[in-house]
Amino acid sequence: MRIGLITPEPGHPLLAATTALLGREHTVEAVDPASAPSDRVADVYLLKSRTPRALALARELELRGAAVLNSASATALCQDRTAMAELADRAGLPFAATRTFAALAPLPDDPDLAYPLVVKSRHSRRHDLVARADDAAGLRALAGAWAREPVVVQEFTANSGWDHKLWVIGDRVFAALRRSELAPGGRGPTRSLSLDALPPGWAELALRVGEVFALDVYGVDLIDAGGGSPLVVDVNAFPGIRGQRGAPEALAELALAAGGGRLIPRARARSAEESCSTP
């Protein structure tokens, strides 16, 4: 079987470990996201890049019939925090209430904003804006560097200062605690967490997110809103999933299942269902 890795960083720990497992019996090739599609299409591709050129390449490969995990459309949706919040709301997921603004600059003068609040870049990317503002002065300080940035605003929910990071590969759930970047002192260490230590229903919620967003490899950021009630604050397509025992094995199994036709990627399955339901 031929497995393609659409990534500029094939040496990423998760991908490198997965490649070592798959490479014993299969051909694993790194694919430059900026390259043109090869004449020979692999059996399955792992899309570990979110750049416009990587998404365009993934779309072209999908048109040629290749299985891509995750699909270009599902990956792109997770980069738009407005679309993410709207889909989560329609699906009844416990997602942070989200408002969208075309630019950050006017917000300090908005009398309807309730503080403290969390302000994020609308479009998720490396080194984007994610910050807490306790008052209008805090927003003005952020506007100094991000005045024209399209943003989403979420009401800040009091919590322990630790984010629950849940990662899913197929039907396998992995978990960790990470000190939030919004907590005093900023982002801190990540600590592995057994699924038994999660509040009841949280692992099932993570799996539900994958169904809603048509994702096969993804991360869900949750906070405890009180009494074990989960609040989803972010969804990420194909995150790093570093240091999680069993993650490379789960990813290798998923790739082989998709490449061999034993598993239909969620986005492709949803597309087929929608086509069948259309009069």
Task: Give me the DSSP letters along 89-145.
Answer: HHHT--B--EEEES-STTGGG-TT--SSEEEEESB--TT--EEEESSHHHHHHHHHH
Residue 189, pLDDT score: 73
State percent of the chain over pLDDT 70: 94
Residue 188, pLDDT score: 67
Mean pLDDT of 79-100: 96
What does the angle CA 192 – CA 204 – CA 12 come to, to the nearest 5 degrees?
Answer: 40
* Closest CA relative to residue 64, chosen from 126, 4, 136: 4
- pLDDT tens digits, one per residue of 200-234: 999 999 999 999 999 999 999 999 999 999 999 99
- Give me 86's structure tokens: 């709207």
With tokens 């009630």, the residue in question is 229
Residue 183, pLDDT score: 72
Mean pLDDT of 61-86: 95
Res 277 pLDDT > 60: no
- Neighbour-count burial of 168, counting CB atoms closer than 10 A to its CB (0-12 exposed, 13-18 middle, 19+ buried): buried
**Residue 54: partners with Cβ closer than 8 Å, 6 or more residues away:** 6, 33, 34, 47
With tokens 């990071």, the residue in question is 165
With tokens 């994958």, the residue in question is 210
* Closest CA relative to residue 173, chosen from 200, 201, 195: 195
Query: DSSP letter at 199?
Result: P
- pLDDT tens digits, one per residue of 149-176: 999 999 898 888 889 999 999 999 999 9
Residue 275, pLDDT score: 44
